[in-house]
């Protein structure tokens, strides 16, 4: 079991949240509480870099959807980067790959 660690950095396109560890029932509330504190301006892109994420359950998916809703409310974009293969499979099964633009890494996701 890996604790959740979230780091935030700024890119030219907007904030990048790097997510490490397990985004599960126990840890997803941490991301859900952080999301509303992320300032977004219209036209910016919020990037969730998941390359360090080891596990994601339905609570984690709900937190990702909350991030999507936050970005939409701010008239900003959102993108996922570095999605692990097992999580990408789940996103495809539930159709979230149709909602989130997915990039191979945060460098690709933050290109203007």
Note down pLDDT in tens along the chain; length 112 residues: 688 999 999 999 999 999 999 999 999 999 999 999 999 999 999 999 999 999 999 999 999 999 999 999 999 999 999 999 999 999 999 999 999 999 999 999 999 6
**Domain residue spans in the chain?**
5-109
How many CA atoms within 13 Å lie on the side-chain side of 30? 15
Residue 1 has a pLDDT of 66
Q: Domain 5-109 has what CATH class?
A: alpha beta
Residue 94 · residue 60 · CB < 8 Å: no
């Amino acid at each position: 079991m890996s604790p959740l660690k979230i780091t935030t950095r700024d890119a030219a396109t907007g904030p990048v949240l790097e997510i490490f560890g397990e985004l599960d029932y126990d840890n997803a509330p941490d991301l859900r509480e952080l999301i509303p504190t992320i300032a977004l301006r219209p036209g910016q892109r919020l990037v969730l870099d998941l390359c360090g994420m080891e596990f994601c359950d339905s609570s984690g998916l709900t937190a990702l959807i909350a991030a999507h809703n936050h970005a939409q409310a701010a008239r900003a974009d959102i993108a996922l980067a570095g999605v692990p293969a097992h999580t990408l499979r789940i996103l495809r099964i539930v159709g979230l790959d149709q909602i989130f633009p997915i990039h191979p890494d945060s460098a690709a996701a933050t290109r203007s």
